[in-house]
Amino acid sequence: MTKNQAPGFGKTNFNDKRLDDRFVKIYEEFKKNPSAILSHVFFNSHQCKAAYRFFQIPKITEEEMLRSHHDTLFDFLISDKCEEILEIQDTTECDYTNHPKTANLGKLGSSKDYRNGIKCHSSLIVTANGLPLGIGSLNLWNRTEFKYNGSKNIRKIPIKEKESFKWINGIENFDTCHLKNLSRIIICDREADFYEFQDYICNNNKGMVIRLRWDRKTEDGLMIKESLKQTPIQGYETIKIKSKGGLGASREEKEVKLAVRYTTLSMKAPKNIDKSTINSKKLKLTIVHAIEVNPENNEEPVEWNLITNVEVNGLEDALKIIRWYSYRWLVEEFHKILKAGIKVEEARLSEAGRLEKLITFLSIIAVRILWMSRINRLNPEAPIEFMLSEQETVVLTGHAKKKAKKELKNINDAVRYIASLGGFKGRKSDGSPGLLTLWRGLIKFYDMLEGYDIT
């Protein structure tokens, strides 16, 4: 890595210099106090009202915010000479059922579900070694009705008319055509296991790693899992994965030993899909199977069946596919920061369109916190200036020396000290700081920084 700090926002063009300047000031305030509750960010009532009005202005669009973010992201990729990136897609819900005065919200579930809110499909850009860099695309929508609830012929409906088109949109909305040598690998969980999506990826020069959802017949007449059973184990690998847990639960990393096998199969397009929406009636894909060996405490073993079009010529290639998929939890951590940390579901804006602007804005803030957590694990010995500005470094190291009698030498020291401000104890058994303690520590740190500016 050659460039310090995570990509944020670059120069905006809202067709009004005053708005561009105001955007920079608002961004700096949110960096200091990452919260969706505007009154917690702006203590001055006039500034708070100005921030509310800012997200009401028609010229302020999600598209321009993302374009500005992409400018800094592309600079980052070019300066680091990245040859491949992982685009990890996932969907979450922002539930505003308890905000009845917010207009134009959509249904979150089926026709029988009473909850209202905004659906959010994210594409998180991650390096091949697992460092989150930014947002590739962010698709936000309000479901006014559950159009095909209970339909028996849903598979015959063209993909562009279905909600599942979000997966293809996630690729199309991140335009990297000017980065000619950049390889894009799409990482998705089981919801993305459908033929139209895989056909689109294979015919648009993208790679993919998608977890198998549907066992199905291959061209030779065998089911996928049956073919894998006939394939001998080709090696073993120990990796770190996140343990199971919900949004508010602690999800510690644990090491698992996996037995690995892989085989290449040809799969035909399902008979009951609209053939006019696909390019290939048959796809040649590799299935990489990994299953945990001797799970602890009689737990259900970790097991992944991964579909890929990336060439697998040996065990090393198969292990690379597994490692890439093991980073999929990062997008869940991103959503955790956005919802449990920044508390985007507590935002009080009067209309769904304004909330969508705020969600887009706060997503870039959330990635910055995730980046800080991961850079500590991937490059802990790097200098603090790699993560913080010169002024931030001076204030943090000075505070640690004066209050805690500690000398901060590198990123690991800095992150652990920031997290300690948020309640992290730092005992040997505690491991690395969690996202929420780091988030709370950052808020306290920026309070200190603001006091430094005043004096």
Domain boundary assignment for the chain:
380-454
CA–CA gap between residue 118 and residue 135 (Å, rounded): 18
The reported pLDDT for the residue numbered 248 is 38
What residues contact residue 359 under an 8 Å CB cut-off, 6+ apart?
A: 94, 118, 120, 138, 140, 338, 344, 347
Cα dist. 97→210, 345, 363 in Å? Answer: 32, 9, 21
CA–CA gap between residue 338 and residue 346 (Å, rounded): 11
> What is the average per-residue pLDDT within 75-83?
88
The reported pLDDT for the residue numbered 447 is 83
pLDDT, tens digit, for every residue of 358-370? 999 999 999 999 9
pLDDT of 130 > 80? The answer is yes
Q: Full-prediction pTM beyond 0.85?
A: yes
pLDDT, tens digit, for every residue of 223-279? 999 999 999 999 999 988 876 544 334 456 788 899 999 999 999 998 888 788 888
pLDDT, tens digit, for every residue of 302-353? 999 999 999 999 999 999 999 999 999 999 999 999 999 999 999 999 999 9
pLDDT, tens digit, for every residue of 55-69? 999 999 999 999 999
Average predicted confidence (pLDDT) for the chain: 89
Q: Residue 43 carries which DSSP code?
A: -
Identify the weakest region by mean pLDDT among 4-8, 137-141, 404-408. 4-8
- Quick one: 380-454 is in which CATH superfamily? Transferase Inhibitor Protein From Tn5; Chain (1.10.740.10)
Q: Which residue has the higher pLDDT, 253 or 134?
A: 134
SS3 253: strand
Q: For residue 31, how many C-alpha atoms fall within 13 Å in the half-sphere facing its CB?
A: 19
pLDDT, tens digit, for every residue of 156-186? 778 888 889 999 999 999 988 778 789 999 9
The reported pLDDT for the residue numbered 1 is 43
Which residues is 223 bridged to in the sheet? Answer: 217
The reported pLDDT for the residue numbered 140 is 96
On whether the CB atoms of residues 46 and 151 are closer than 8 A, the answer is no
The reported pLDDT for the residue numbered 5 is 64
pLDDT of 2 > 60? The answer is no
pLDDT of 374 > 80? The answer is yes
Q: Which residue has the higher pLDDT, 148 or 281?
A: 281
- Burial (CB < 10 A; 0-12, 13-18, 19+), residue 80, is middle
pLDDT, tens digit, for every residue of 32-41? 888 899 988 8
On whether the CB atoms of residues 32 and 444 are closer than 8 A, the answer is no
> What is the average per-residue pLDDT within 375-381?
90
pLDDT of 31 > 90? The answer is no
The reported pLDDT for the residue numbered 246 is 41
pLDDT of 381 > 90? The answer is yes
Q: Residue 105 carries which DSSP code?
A: -
